[in-house]
């Protein structure tokens, strides 16, 4: 099942959840609160999900980031060997992203205002698998039954920031306003291996050119361990979204945005997250990036 959060194109005041039929290009409203039907789907009870009303053409709605109003956004890094090898005896870092940083598919990626104060900074894209929780993690040793499904993520990062007195300002670098994408919808876990580790092809394209390529099975810390470690730091709840780290780059040393770039993040079976970078960078115009 593909689960989208959406609103009418002409009226953004009413946000709803729906089941997407990709073959018919329609979406049908899911009845009931998120916590109820998400828990049922995580438990494998897809038949318990009630659909209401007539299917709506996808072209008549605007897809939003598939996260609930109460979602927490958690991220981790240093998780693919072809990007950065983890240091022996040192844990992968975790961080939390503000909701204001999140956008859905087809929404514009904004430039970070930080560039006005720190002109050496640049925005970088990072293709990632996003795990969405449908239930609380009741058994930390086995967190996979809490998973609702997966989405495509583009974890935009501000590179080149001045370090803080604690070292790298990781939370700050991951907090760029209106720049991190999740979407286009949630694909329930039964479509990608159930409670096992997903093995899906990952491809990032910038203006049609492949710049990242790997498989989700190549993670150093598999989804199960990422969830366990995240839940140890702060209890995960239904609707929370967890970024699982980016893979390495192909043909480019790093994934820096340029004004007007078309960014297409795709993961096998999950769909394409498509965003255009803001055409003009007002901050770089004042402080040119060297």
List the pLDDT tens digit at each of the 290 positions of the chain: 999 999 999 887 889 999 999 999 999 999 999 999 999 999 999 988 999 999 999 999 999 999 988 899 999 988 998 876 666 666 778 999 999 999 999 999 999 887 777 877 889 999 999 999 999 999 999 999 999 999 999 999 988 777 766 667 788 889 999 999 999 999 999 999 999 999 999 999 999 999 999 999 999 999 999 999 999 999 999 999 999 999 989 988 789 999 999 999 999 999 999 999 999 888 775 544 44
The Cα 9–Cα 100 span in angstroms is: 21
**C-alpha 87, offset from chain centre:** 25
Q: What angle do CA 83, 84, 90 make, to 5 degrees?
A: 150
The Cα 274–Cα 156 span in angstroms is: 13
User: 3-state DSSP call for residue 4?
Assistant: strand
DSSP letter for 229, please. H
**Count of CB atoms situated within 10 Å of the CB of 212:** 25
Residue 270 near residue 153, CB atoms below 8 Å: no
The 10s digit of each residue's pLDDT in 186-225 is: 999 999 999 999 999 999 999 999 999 999 999 999 999 9
What is the pLDDT at residue 285?
Answer: 56
The overall pTM is greater than 0.85: yes
* CA distances to 111, 228, 256 from 94, in Å: 24, 12, 22
Residue 53 near residue 28, CB atoms below 8 Å: yes
CB crowding 105-129: b at 16 or more within 10 Å, else e: bebebbbbebbeeebebbbbbbbbb
């Amino acid at each position: 099942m593909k689960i989208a959060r959406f609103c009418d194109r002409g009226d953004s005041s009413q946000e709803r959840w729906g089941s997407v039929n990709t073959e018919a290009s329609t979406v049908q409203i899911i009845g009931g609160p998120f916590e109820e039907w998400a828990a049922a789907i995580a438990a494998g009870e897809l038949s318990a999900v009630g659909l209401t009303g007539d299917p709506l053409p996808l072209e008549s709605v605007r897809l939003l980031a598939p996260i609930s109003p109460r979602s927490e956004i958690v991220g981790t890094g240093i998780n693919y060997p072809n990007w950065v090898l983890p240091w022996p005896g040192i844990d992968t870092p975790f961080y939390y992203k503000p909701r204001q940083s999140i956008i859905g598919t087809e929404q514009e990626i904004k430039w970070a205002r930080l560039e006005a104060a720190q002109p050496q900074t640049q925005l970088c894209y990072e293709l990632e698998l996003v795990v969405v929780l449908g239930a609380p993690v009741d058994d930390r040793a086995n967190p996979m039954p809490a998973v609702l499904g997966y989405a495509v993520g583009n974890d935009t990062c501000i590179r080149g920031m001045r370090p803080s007195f604690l070292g790298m300002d990781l939370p700050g670098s991951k907090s760029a306003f209106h720049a991190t994408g999740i979407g286009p919808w949630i694909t329930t876990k039964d479509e990608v291996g159930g409670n096992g580790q997903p093995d899906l092809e990952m491809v990032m394209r910038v203006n049609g050119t492949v710049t990242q390529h790997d498989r989700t099975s190549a993670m150093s810390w598999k989804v199960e361990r990422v969830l366990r470690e995240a839940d140890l730091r702060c209890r995960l709840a239904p609707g929370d979204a967890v970024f699982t780290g980016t893979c390495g780059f192909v043909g480019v040393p790093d994934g820096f945005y340029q004004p007007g770039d078309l960014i297409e993040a795709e993961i096998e079976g999950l769909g394409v997250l498509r965003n255009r970078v803001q055409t003009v960078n007002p901050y770089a115009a004042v402080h040119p990036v060297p």
